[in-house]
A and B are shown apart, each in its own frame.
Chain A
Amino acid sequence: MKEKILYVVLAIVFIVAIVMTAVLGLRVDLNYAEANTITFTVGKTINIDEIKEIAKNVLGNNDILVQQVEMFGDSAIIKTRQDVTDEKLTNLCTRINEKYETELTTGDFAVNHISNTKLRSVIEPYIIPIGLSTLLIVAFYAIRYKGTKKMIGLIKYWIIAEGLLYSLYAIGRVQVNEMTMPIALALYTLVIGIYTFKNEMELDLRKSKKDKDKPE
């Protein structure tokens, strides 16, 4: 009975997550999002944290990504979801000139619009390796544990674990970022490891019970 209630709750959670994704979409972090970029070269070694601070003050938003460009340490790229107006660009230029004692003009700042990265392309490379390994692992389960019960169990727990992770991102509005897919992969590995461990323990228990029951 408890199990049934648990499955109903899980089903509700998953449905809510799917509906939320359909209505609102997943919340992606700035690296995957549609945004504007400002690329510039100062000509002096810059500190990314300082640039980030300036960008936050000028663009008035905490959701800013600052990355170093090239190896010389004098260029950077600022990524923001906000519109980059002439006023903001002039302000940014002035603040950087003040900080690094340079004479940059707004023409030295290249503003570009970047489209979003499709999440499908982030997930795509994982599909074949994970699919193939699941098939082989399921085949191993069929041989080792004789029957389909454990095979179905493995797939069930895997779906539940990944479904909960997905629900966390969809309902909890956690940002999908570079860590998302590695976490999903680690979760998959953990499910396989823990479930196999559990099955081996059960097998051991059954064996020792059988040995005890055997007449001497």
Chain B
Amino acid sequence: MKAQKKLNIVLTVLVIILVSIISFVGVYHVEKNQMVNIIPSYKLGTNISGYRKITLEVEDKSEEIDSETVTLGEENENTVSDENITLSNEIEENSVDDSSKENNTDNYKKSAEIFKNRLKSLKVEDYSVAIDESTGKIELSIPENDQTDTILSDLVSIGKFEVTDTNTGEVLLTNSDVKNVSVDISSQYGYTVPYMNINFNLSGANKLKDISVEYNDNAVVEANTTENETTEETLNETTENTSNEVSEGISENVTSDETNAESEESNTVAKTVDIKIDDTTMLSTGFSEVVDNGTLQLTMQAASDSDALKQSLYGSYNVAAIIENDPLPIEYEITENVYVQAPIQIDNLYVVIAILIAIAIILSIVMIVKFKMKGLLMTILSIGYVAIHLLVIRYTNVVLTIDGILAIGLSYIINYCFAYMLLTKIKSKDLSRTEKIENYNKCMKKYIFILIPLTILALICCFTNWDTLYSYGMIMFWGILISLLYNLTVTNLLIRNK
């Protein structure tokens, strides 16, 4: 019986050592004449690997006006065109106006705020923004991933969302009427179709209801234009990529040809609205029923495979982020767009890791000195715990950030606390096996209560979209869960056999 118990302990220790070797060293095999580790590598976060650095500068409109003036001058050298005079006057006015400086600073700040809000809407939390208030230059850094380029393609759009009367051009709804925009997907005829729900605020919802009544499919207005202004052509006017995606997807919603034909016959056209982004018409449509829920649904580009769906979804998120935020007060352009290695020096990171290892060694020495053999056994168990934790982090693809590295250290300390608490309770040699088990159960109960607040913190961090906190939360969560299971199984087994 005693020999069996010893064998159990030896076997457990051997398994721990094996797992530790797998985790810390790896498992290698030969692939294309190279030794390749089959254990996945760590997925590094923005503050360890790198990020996309974007410089946004205010688009120089005066240059454009200047060049336009020159062109006009060349076309008709002898006559001074009216337009030329107007443009020159505009430039003079701009330079003379002193109060415009202050106004510009406000606009720069507002623009930076809008960029931040757009990034938040796109669930890009791991960003940083720096603004030069005198020039309006904005430095952005965002994580590098497969969505980055799509985000940047529309980030500097003015983002003026309007619902206008097709015939009169009267603006019926704007960005200020929008509460939020959600993007979802549905399946239709074997295609997956992303769609946007534009949810309007109270005043917007009321306006939308009135519009849906006024612009229902049966409503007509006397035609004052020629036949070439058909809805289909209006749809094809879109030029920007996002607008294209929307227009392609929503073509099915367009008023039917039959209705158009009827309208032509009676010399009237259907009363429709244009949905525009930055004065580009995305869709002209009427309403088949009264919209009283304050939500306007727009179907986006359908996708047949996962890659196309991903791109379509990313495009939809971009449009949603533009619509649900205010339009930019001034035009910006991207002047620099590069991937930059993280500022943290790899040497500094090694210092952090070395400090954490040193702390672990000191704690282990304290435990061994205080509890002798039992302390040594617990130290081996702790090494096994860290090894399993690191394996789980890699297999669950958790992003490793600086916060995440600290979370590994903290998880070790939490697990160490349990070991210390347990050894204090069972260090006496006079304790019987039953008493030891009883003490173990008491410790376990206490440990669960200690873990509750830490689990709350970890779970809340897990629900953030910000890479850094998410990494911290996930690593802490796994650390707590593994510690609990590890101590319930391996430590429990050793206590029962010792």
Most buried by A among B133, B339, B401: B339
Q: Are A137 and B466 also in contact (CB < 8 A) when A121-B129, A190-B413 are?
A: no
Nearest B residue to A136, CB-CB: B456
Could you tell me the dominant secondary structure of chain A's interface residues? helix
Q: How would residues 446 to 478 of chain B score, 1 for a CB under 8 Å from any chain A CB and 0 otherwise?
A: 100110111011001101101011001000100
Given the complex of chains A and B, what is the CA–CA distance between A182 and B48 in angstroms? Answer: 13
- Given A77, A116, A196, which contacts B450 in the complex, CB threshold below 8 Å? A196
A186 to B454, CA, bound (A): 11
Specify which of B55, B414, B450 lies most central, judged by the most chain A CB atoms within 10 Å of its CB: B450
Residues from chain A with Cβ under 8 Å of B342 in the complex? 67, 178
B481 interfacial contact with A, CB 8 Å: no
B137 interface residue (CB < 8 Å to A): yes
Verify A193–B413 contact, CB threshold 8 A: yes
Q: How far is the CB of A68 from chain B (nearest CB, A)?
A: 4
Contacts A70-B338, A133-B460: A200 and B472 contacting too (C-beta < 8 A)? no
Q: How many A-B residue pairs have CB under 8 A?
A: 131
Return the chain B residue nearest A122 by Cβ.
B128
Q: Does B264 contact A (CB under 8 A)?
A: no
Within 8 A of B (CB), among A80-138: 112-118, 121-122, 125-126, 129, 132-133, 136-137
Residues of B within 8 A of A39 (CB): 336, 338
The answer to whether A178 and B137 touch (CB under 8 A), given A69-B339, A117-B130, is: no
A204: CB under 8 A from chain B?
yes
Let me know if B340 and A185 touch, CB within 8 A.
no
Contact check: which of A67, A75, A185 meets B472 at CB < 8 Å? A185
Query: Is the C-beta of B403 less than 8 angstroms from some C-beta in chain A?
Result: yes
Are the CB atoms of A65 and B343 closer together than 8 Å? yes
Q: Please report the C-alpha to C-alpha distance between residue A70 and residue B50 in the assembled complex, in whole angstroms.
A: 9
Q: Are A69 and B340 in contact (CB under 8 A)?
A: yes
Cβ–Cβ < 8 Å partners of A20 in chain B: none
Residues of the A chain whose Cβ atoms lie less than 8 Å from the Cβ of B137? 113, 115
Instruction: Tell whether B363 is near chain A: CB-to-CB under 8 Å.
Output: no
Chain A CB within 8 A of B132 CB: yes
CB-based contact B352/A204 at 8 Å:
no
Chain A 52-86 per-residue mask, 1 if CB under 8 angstroms from chain B, else 0: 00000000000001011111000101000000000
A201 to B424, CA, bound (A): 12
A-B contact pairs, 24 of them (CB 8 A): A39-B336, A67-B343, A69-B341, A70-B338, A114-B132, A114-B139, A115-B132, A116-B130, A118-B130, A125-B125, A133-B460, A141-B453, A178-B342, A178-B344, A179-B348, A182-B406, A186-B406, A192-B457, A193-B413, A193-B417, A193-B453, A197-B421, A204-B442, A204-B446
B positions within 8 Å CB-CB of A: 47, 50, 55, 125, 128-133, 137, 139, 336, 338-344, 348, 352, 401-403, 406-407, 409-410, 413-414, 417, 421, 442, 446, 449-450, 452-454, 456-457, 460-461, 463-464, 466, 468-469, 472, 476
Chain A residues within CB distance 8 Å of chain B:
30-31, 39, 48, 65, 67-71, 75, 77, 112-118, 121-122, 125-126, 129, 132-133, 136-137, 140-141, 144, 177-179, 181-183, 185-186, 188-190, 192-193, 196-197, 200-201, 204
